[in-house]
């Protein structure tokens, strides 16, 4: 596995796939298609200037998780397939792990994961399909926004990822890399939450 210097094309690629996925999933039939649909570019490739594994991560948020069959019916024409994970307990494939202090209800953390890897000259795309009320879905967006806003934290995260990528360079899958990265996320959570509180206070303005 490698962590590459930021590629300015990642932003445009993320925007293009966000639109394509939103259009496709907007055709879901009820009950899978009921309620709001949010598709957003997340992860390190969504943070300008940040080095990353050259993979475009997108997050899909829906009121309820569609079936695998419903997702494949709409997304297979775009080249996506359901991801099964390298191991039965692969982190982030079938469920997310609650962050410290978050609602631990297991139902909130169920997810679907799809990948698109078969196009030359363009990075793979991963779709994380989560519920609208998933605390983890809110967390990854907050983490992205924090890194965008605080360059020093983005630099620290990049250094951590480069170190872990070198440590796991011979691994057959990303599972141990993903687990080890959680240590940085845990250590950074209080700083991120402080930034979020300050941002929200600023957006509300004086009372």
Q: What is the pLDDT of residues 49-96, one digit of tens each?
A: 999 999 999 999 999 999 999 999 999 999 999 998 777 677 789 999
pTM over 0.85: yes
Three-point CA angle 79, 136, 140, nearest 5° = 70
Torsion of CA 81, 46, 145, 160, to 10 degrees: 90
Question: Would you identify the CATH topology of the domain 9-204?
Answer: Beta Polymerase; domain 2 (3.30.460)
Instruction: Supply 172's token pair.
Output: 């057959």
Sole residue written with tokens 């631990």? 104
CA distance 154 to 102: 23
The region of weakest confidence among 35-39, 143-147, 164-168, 173-177 is 173-177
Q: Any idea where the domains of the chain sit in the sequence? A: 9-204
DSSP assignment, residue 103? -
Please state, for a pLDDT cut of 90, what percent of the chain lies above it: 75
Angular region, 10: left φ>0, alpha ψ -120 to 50, beta rest: alpha
pLDDT at 169: 67
């Amino acid at each position: 596995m490698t962590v590459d210097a930021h590629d300015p094309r990642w932003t445009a690629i993320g925007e293009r796939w966000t639109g394509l996925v939103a259009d496709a999933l907007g055709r879901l039939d009820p009950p899978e298609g009921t309620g709001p649909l949010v598709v957003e570019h997340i992860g390190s490739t969504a943070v300008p200037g940040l080095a990353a594994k050259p993979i475009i991560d997108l997050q899909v948020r829906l009121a309820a998780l569609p079936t695998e069959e419903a997702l494949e019916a709409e997304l297979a024409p775009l080249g996506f397939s359901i991801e099964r994970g390298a191991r039965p307990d692969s982190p982030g494939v079938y469920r997310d792990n609650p962050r410290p202090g978050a609602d631990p209800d297991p139902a909130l953390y169920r997810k679907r994961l799809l990948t698109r890897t078969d196009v030359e000259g363009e990075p793979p795309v991963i779709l994380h399909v989560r519920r609208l009320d998933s605390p983890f879905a809110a967390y990854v967006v907050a983490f992205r926004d924090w890194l965008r806003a605080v360059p020093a934290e983005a630099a620290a995260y990049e250094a951590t990822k480069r170190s872990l990528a070198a440590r796991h360079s011979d691994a057959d899958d990303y599972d141990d890399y993903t687990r080890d990265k959680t240590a940085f996320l845990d250590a950074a959570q209080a700083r991120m939450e402080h930034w979020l509180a300050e941002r929200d206070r600023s957006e509300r303005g004086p009372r």
